[in-house]
C-alpha cells in the first residue's frame, strides 16, 4: 500500500511569496499522477516537498497514513528520477543500478538478481558493463529509471525525466514508462510541462498555475470538461467565446442560440464557451450554424489548421497631422516652450482641468542651456460645451508663452453589436521630433489619439487594440497620415483534413456535446 495525501500544503521562500499555496490532493495506491503546468507554477517544488528535498512551510504530508513533514528523505522509501539522470560517471551501468542496494548491505546474489530483472524490464541487459559516457540520452534515462526501481519503493517521483530527449525518443519513452507502470503497479508522481505527456501517460492530472491547483481529474475529464480558461488553453487548444446561458441546455453567443448539454447555471448568466478545434467541421455556407471568412490555412502534417473569422474586428481610422516643430524661444533665449493642438470630445469638456490640458497638448517648457524642464505656470482658455475651435495659452512664470487650439468635437464611437464592442479615437497633431523620439510608438499613438475599446455590455471592461500605420517613424515628414486602431474580432481555429482556400466564405458546424460551458472568470 502506498497512498500519499497532501493537506493544505504550502511553500514560502519569503513571508509574502508562496511558491505553493493550499495544495490538497489524494494520491491512491498504484496511481500514475502527473503534475502539469507552466514553468514556475510550483509543480517541481511540490514534488521536492514530497521527496523531503524541500521543507514544508505549512500543511501536512502523509505517506501510508504516517505524517512525514519531518521525516528524513532516506526514510520515506521513495525513489526519485531527475531530469539530468544523476548517474555516477565512474561506475558501470550495473554498479549505478546496484548502488542503492549495496549501501544497504543487501546480499550480492540478491542484488545481482534484481539488477538483471530490472535491466530485462528496461531492455538494457547488454549495457550493464558500459559507463554513462558511452550511452545515448535514452539509454541513460533507462539506467536512471532502473536505479530508481531497484528497491521497489513505495512510490516513484519523476521530475521532467524526458525533457532532455529529442521528440522521437521522448515519444518512445512515454510508451515505455506507461508500460513499466502497468507492470510494476507502483504509485508514480510525474512532473512535466508537456501537455501531451500528461494526457497520454497519466491516470490523474493535476493542473497547476501560480502555486495553486486549477483542476484535478482524469485526462478525459481535464480535456473535455476544463474548469476554467487557463486549463482549456493549457491542455490542448481551445476556442473560447464569451456567451450567455439563457436556460438549461441553451447558450447564446455571437447573436446565435445553440443547444448544449450544460445545465445548472443561472438564467442569463454570463459564461465562457469552449469548443475544441477538432470538433468544428467546415461545411457549405448554407449548412453552417455560423459563417465566416477563411483567414489562413496552415498544413500541420496530419491536418490543416484553418482560421475562420466569424465576427469582423472593430476599427477606427484617424488622421495624424504631422507638423513642423514649433518651439518658441524667449527674448533672452533662456526659455523654450512648445505645445500641440488637440481634440476633445464634447462630453468631456466639463471634466477638463489645467493639468489634463497640459497633458493632452504635451505642453512643456525648458532651459535649453541647462537642459532642464521649467514648469508651466499658467493655462488660459475659455471652453463651452459646443463644437468649435477654442484658443489656449500656456505660459511660464517668466511670461514665455505659446498659443494653441482646442478642437471640441462630437466624436461618435464605432459600435459593433455582434462583437459586443465599442471603439473610439480622435484625430491628433504631432511634431516630427515627437514621433522620431518615441520609444514605444504603438503605445504613444494610442495615447495621443485617446484610442480606447470596451465591451458594450460592460463599459468598464476594456478590449485590446492593435495599431496599424504605413510610415517609417524615422522617415516621417510633415503631412497627414492615417492611423487605424482595431480589435481582433472573433476567430475560430479549426483542425481538419479537408483543404479550404483562403478568402473563401464557409459555414461552421458542431454538435451540442462539443460545446462546453464554463462560468465567466472575472479579471
The answer on pLDDT for 523 being more than 60 is: no
Termini Cα distance of the chain: 43
Look up cell 483534413; give the residue: 497
Lowest mean pLDDT among 133-142, 347-356, 405-414: 133-142
> Does residue 2 have a pLDDT over 90?
no
Reported as a single tens digit per residue, the pLDDT across 8-49 is: 999 998 777 889 999 999 999 999 999 999 989 999 999 999
- Half-sphere exposure in the Cβ direction for 320 (13 Å, CA): 30
Contact 23, 6 (CB under 8 A): yes
More confident residue, 143 or 45: 45
* pLDDT the model gives residue 183: 85
Angle at 503 between CA 502 and CA 506, to 5 degrees: 95
Closest CA to 411 of 387, 431, 393: 387
Query: What are 235's three cell numbers?
Result: 491542455
**pLDDT tens column, 401-423:** 999 999 999 888 899 887 888 99
Instruction: Assess whether pLDDT exceeds 80 at residue 121.
Output: no
Q: Is the pLDDT at 143 greater than 90, yes or no?
A: no
**What was the pLDDT predicted at 203?**
94
Hey, how many other C-beta atoms are within 10 angstroms of the C-beta on 72?
8
Q: How confident is the model at residue 1 (pLDDT cuts 50, 70, 90)?
A: low
According to DSSP, the residues that pair with 483 across neighbouring strands are 318
Domains and CATH numbers, the chain: 4-232 (3.40.50.300), 237-312+507-519 (no CATH), 315-486 (no CATH)
Q: Is the pLDDT assigned to residue 305 strictly greater than 80?
A: yes
Per-residue pLDDT at 174:
86
Beta bridge partners of 516: 274
pLDDT score, position 387: 93
Give 409-476 as a DSSP string: E----EEETTTTEEEE---EEEEHHHHHT-SSHHHHHHHHHT-EEEETTEEEEE---EEE--S-GGG-
Least confidently predicted of 18-22, 458-462, 494-498? 458-462
- At 160 the pLDDT is 87
What's the confidence (pLDDT) of residue 101?
83
Encode pLDDT of 369-389 as tens digits.
888 999 999 999 999 999 999
What confidence score (pLDDT) does residue 175 get? 85
Q: What is the pLDDT of residue 114?
A: 84
Rounded distance, CA 431 to CA 421, Å? 32
Positions of E strands within 69-177: 78-81, 155-159
- Which pLDDT band holds residue 458 (cuts at 50, 70, 90)? confident
What's the pLDDT at 177?
83
CB 6 within 8 A of CB 60: yes
Give the global pTM.
0.72
Query: What are the pLDDT digits (tens) for 95-108?
Result: 888 887 888 888 98
pLDDT recorded at residue 251? 97
pLDDT in the model for residue 386? 93
Q: Around Cβ 361, how many Cβ atoms within 10 Å?
A: 22
Cα 331 to Cα 182: distance, rounded to the nearest angstrom: 90
| Statement: residue 337 has pLDDT above 90 | yes
For the residues 272-299, what does the mean pLDDT come to? 95
> At residue 152, does pLDDT exceed 90?
no
Per-residue cell: 335 = 526659455
Does residue 145 have a pLDDT over 90?
no
CB atoms within 10 A of CB 30: 17
Query: Rounded mean pLDDT of 176-195?
Result: 89
For the cut 80, the answer to whether the pLDDT of residue 86 exceeds it is: no
Percent of the chain with pLDDT over 70: 99
What backbone phi and psi angles, to 5 degrees, belong to 179?
A: -65, -40
3-state secondary structure (DSSP) of residue 192: strand
Give the model confidence (pLDDT) of 58-71 as tens digits.
999 999 999 999 99
Q: CA angle 408-414-420, nearest 5°?
A: 135
Query: Which pLDDT does position 379 carry in this prediction?
Result: 95
Say how far apart CA 64 and CA 34 lie, in whole Å: 19
pLDDT at 522: 57
Q: How many CB atoms lie within 10 A of CB 288?
A: 19
Tell me what the pLDDT averaged over the chain comes to. 90
Least confident of 222-226, 325-329, 431-435, 467-471: 325-329
CB neighbours of residue 511 within 10 Å: 12
- What pLDDT score does 153 carry? 86
Sequence-separated (6 or more) residues with CB below 8 Å from residue 106: none
Three cell numbers at 135?
550511452
Whether the per-residue pLDDT at 6 is higher than 90: the answer is yes
pLDDT of residue 41: 94
Amino acid at each position: 500500500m502506498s497512498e500519499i495525501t497532501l493537506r493544505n500544503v504550502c511553500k514560502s521562500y519569503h513571508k509574502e511569496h508562496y511558491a505553493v499555496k493550499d495544495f490538497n490532493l489524494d494520491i491512491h495506491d498504484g496511481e500514475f499522477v502527473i503534475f502539469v503546468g507552466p514553468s514556475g507554477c510550483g509543480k517541481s517544488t511540490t514534488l521536492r516537498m514530497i521527496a523531503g528535498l524541500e521543507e514544508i512551510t505549512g500543511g501536512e504530508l502523509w505517506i501510508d497514513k504516517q505524517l512525514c513533514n519531518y521525516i528524513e528523505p532516506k526514510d520515506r522509501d521513495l525513489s526519485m528520477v531527475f531530469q539530468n539522470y544523476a548517474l555516477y560517471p565512474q561506475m558501470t551501468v550495473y554498479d549505478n543500478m546496484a548502488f542503492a542496494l549495496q549501501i544497504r548491505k543487501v546480499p550480492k546474489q540478491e542484488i545481482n538478481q534484481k539488477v538483471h530483472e530490472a535491466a530485462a524490464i528496461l531492455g538494457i541487459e547488454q549495457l550493464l558493463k558500459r559507463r554513462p559516457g558511452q550511452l545515448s540520452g535514452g539509454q541513460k534515462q533507462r539506467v536512471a529509471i532502473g536505479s530508481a526501481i531497484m528497491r521497489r519503493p513505495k512510490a516513484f517521483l519523476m521530475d521532467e525525466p524526458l525533457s532532455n530527449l529529442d521528440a522521437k525518443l521522448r515519444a518512445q519513452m512515454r510508451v515505455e514508462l506507461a508500460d513499466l507502470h502497468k507492470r510494476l503497479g507502483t504509485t508514480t508522481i510525474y512532473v512535466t510541462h508537456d501537455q501531451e505527456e500528461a494526457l497520454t501517460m497519466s491516470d490523474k492530472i493535476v493542473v497547476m498555475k501560480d502555486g495553486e491547483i486549477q483542476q484535478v481529474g482524469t485526462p478525459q475529464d481535464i480535456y473535455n470538461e476544463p474548469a476554467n480558461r487557463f486549463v482549456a488553453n493549457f491542455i490542448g487548444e481551445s476556442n473560447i467565446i464569451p456567451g450567455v446561458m439563457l436556460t438549461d441546455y441553451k447558450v447564446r453567443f455571437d447573436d446565435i442560440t445553440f443547444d448544449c448539454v450544460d445545465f445548472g447555471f443561472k438564467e442569463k448568466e454570463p459564461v465562457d464557451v469552449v469548443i475544441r478545434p477538432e470538433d468544428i467541421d467546415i461545411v457549405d455556407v448554407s449548412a453552417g450554424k455560423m459563417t465566416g471568412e477563411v483567414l489562413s490555412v496552415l498544413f500541420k502534417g496530419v491536418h490543416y489548421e484553418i482560421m475562420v473569422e466569424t465576427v469582423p474586428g472593430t476599427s477606427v481610422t484617424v488622421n495624424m497631422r504631422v507638423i513642423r516643430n514649433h518651439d518658441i524661444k524667449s527674448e533672452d533665449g533662456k526659455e523654450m516652450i512648445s505645445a500641440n493642438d488637440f481634440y476633445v470630445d464634447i462630453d468631456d469638456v466639463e471634466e477638463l482641468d489645467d493639468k489634463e490640458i497640459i497633458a493632452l497638448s504635451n505642453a512643456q517648457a525648458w532651459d535649453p542651456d541647462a537642459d532642464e524642464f521649467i514648469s508651466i505656470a499658467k493655462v488660459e482658455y475659455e471652453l463651452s460645451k459646443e463644437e468649435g475651435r477654442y484658443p489656449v495659452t500656456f505660459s511660464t512664470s517668466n511670461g514665455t508663452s505659446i498659443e494653441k487650439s482646442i478642437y471640441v468635437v462630437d466624436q461618435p464611437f464605432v459600435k459593433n453589436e455582434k462583437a459586443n464592442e465599442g471603439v473610439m479615437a480622435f484625430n491628433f497633431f504631432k511634431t516630427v521630433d515627437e514621433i522620431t523620439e518615441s520609444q514605444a510608438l504603438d503605445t504613444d499613438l494610442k495615447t495621443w489619439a485617446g484610442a480606447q475599446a470596451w465591451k458594450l455590455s460592460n463599459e468598464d471592461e476594456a478590449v485590446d487594440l492593435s495599431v496599424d500605420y504605413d510610415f517609417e517613424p524615422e522617415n516621417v515628414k510633415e503631412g497627414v497620415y492615417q492611423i487605424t486602431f482595431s480589435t481582433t474580432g472573433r476567430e475560430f481555429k479549426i483542425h481538419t483534413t479537408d483543404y479550404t482556400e483562403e478568402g473563401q466564405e464557409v459555414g461552421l458546424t458542431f454538435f451540442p456535446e462539443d460545446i462546453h460551458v464554463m462560468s465567466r472568470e472575472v479579471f
